[in-house]
Structure 1
Amino acid sequence: MSFARVRALVIVGLLAVIALVFVVVAVVRDTQSDAGIAAGCPEGWPLADLTLRERKDVKINVFNATDQPGLAHTVADEFSNRQFQVKKTGNEKKVDSVAVLRFGPKGVGSAHLLQAYFLNNAVPGYDPKRTDDTVDVVLGNRFQQLATTTEVNQSLGDSGPPEAPPGACPSPPAK
């Protein structure tokens, strides 16, 4: 083997060792491993589940808060046809908006998805004390119809990822 070839192999080997040292130091000294996740969250604040769920995994209750009889059952059927898990239907006192979405920390991601079905015009009703992952959909006087699949996708793109509501911290992602 010629001297030039040995010298080249030594230099390449030395560069590989230096690169490996830099990688190990960067990984060991990483201070951002839990950035943005419940670190620094005030004690007692609930952890909000920001997972954007598939429709088949979202549990909802549909309530009619309008003068139109049977609206909750009609919309519940539409949600069922779109693969949502409809648990209950019923009536509520009148609401003067498109809809109200009531949810707790475990339903933040599901409520974000449902918000797209109302083109981001539903009023969020976050309750930090609620312990289930079901979202209550309360249909108001301004409700006309659910958005189409294309409109839902556009609305989700416009609204960005789910965010923790005030008074809640984002939960760590599932591993």
Structure 2
Amino acid sequence: MSMLTPPGMGGQYRITGDKYPRMRPPRRRGRLVAAVVASVAALGLIGWGTLQLIDVFTGGKKSTTASSKTGCRPEAATATQVKALPKPGEITVNVYNATDRTGLAKDTADELKKRGFKIGAVGNASKQFDKKVKSTGMLLGPASARNTSLPVLGTQLSGAEQRTDTRKGTDLDLILGDGFKNLTQRAASDQALTRLAAPDPTASPKKSC
């Protein structure tokens, strides 16, 4: 009997040799668990990749989701929005001639009147501007007219310089210079007025929170 055989045991239960047998758990269950974990990980990677591809092809959903979380929505510019600009009938224009051509101020004033502007004084320019305006003309008005009545009058004479001074009242001065030939064509000036009052369609939409 071997020293490894417990007392009272023999026959078919007899253990021979000088080493104890190693008892190992079956390996099949461990392999099965590893295979399941690997399959789940692979499915997760495939699903994540699919979401990334959907986001690439749809585009813009992230920004939409982000704006919905913050409660802000972009406001698109609408064609019904207009700037608060005075109409020609609300603007009084003084027309002065700074050139050596006679009758220029009167003829220009008559044309402006036909286009709806109110006409104030008509005559020769003061010494400050007489024979000193080389461009088509110069528009003068109070500081309050910088973004209101001055741009409206500017649609009638292309290339005219616009300035403000410390005058009282709302009247504007149109000083005709050496480069003046005629007022802007009526159709072109009407289109310029429309563009001036309409909103900019290329402006970035503002967020409303």
TM-score scaled by length of structure 1? 0.57
Contact kept in structure 2, 1:106 and 1:132, CA below 8 Å: no
| Matched residue SS, 1:117 | coil
Matched residues in 1 for 2:183 and 2:150: separation?
14
Matched residues in 2 for 1:143 and 1:101: separation?
13
Matched residues in 2 for 1:125 and 1:72: separation?
19
Spell out the pairing of 1:80-119 with structure 2 (5 A cutoff).
80-92=113-125, 93-94=130-131, 95-108=133-146, 109-119=148-158
The answer to whether residue 189 in structure 2 is matched with residue 152 in structure 1 is yes
Gaps of 5+ in 2: 1-70, 72-82, 199-209
Which consecutive aligned stretches of 4+ in structure 1 deviate over 2 angstroms post-superposition?
A: 105-108, 153-161
Return the offset for 1:130.
2.0
Return the offset for 1:122.
0.4
Return the offset for 1:155.
3.0
Matched residues in 2 for 1:125 and 1:51: separation?
20
What is the RMSD of the two structures over their aligned residues, measured on CA atoms?
A: 2.1
Return the offset for 1:157.
5.5
The aligned length equals 111
Contact kept in structure 2, 1:107 and 1:134, CA below 8 Å: no
Matched residues in 1 for 2:192 and 2:118: separation?
21
Work out which structure has the larger RCO, using CA pairs closer than 8 Å and 6 or more positions apart in sequence: 1
> What residue in structure 2 maps to residue 124 of structure 1?
162
> What residue in structure 1 maps to residue 179 of structure 2?
142
The amino acid of 1:138's aligned partner reads I
Matched residues in 1 for 2:178 and 2:84: separation?
30
Task: Spell out, residue by residue over 1:46-80, the C-alpha distance to the aligned partner (whole angstroms, 9 max, x if none).
Answer: xxxx8421111111100001111010011011111
Quote the sequence identity (%): 30
Greater Rg over alpha carbons, structure: 2
The amino acid of 1:82's aligned partner reads R
TM-score scaled by length of structure 2? 0.48
1:79 to 87, 91, 112: 112
1:66 to 93, 96, 99: 99
Matched residues in 1 for 2:91 and 2:179: separation?
24
Return the offset for 1:96.
0.5
Task: Spell out, residue by residue over 1:107-144, the C-alpha distance to the aligned partner (whole angstroms, 9 max, x if none).
Answer: 3311101111112x1011211x2221111000001011
Matched residues in 2 for 1:159 and 1:51: separation?
10
Gaps of 5+ in 1: 1-25, 27-49, 162-175
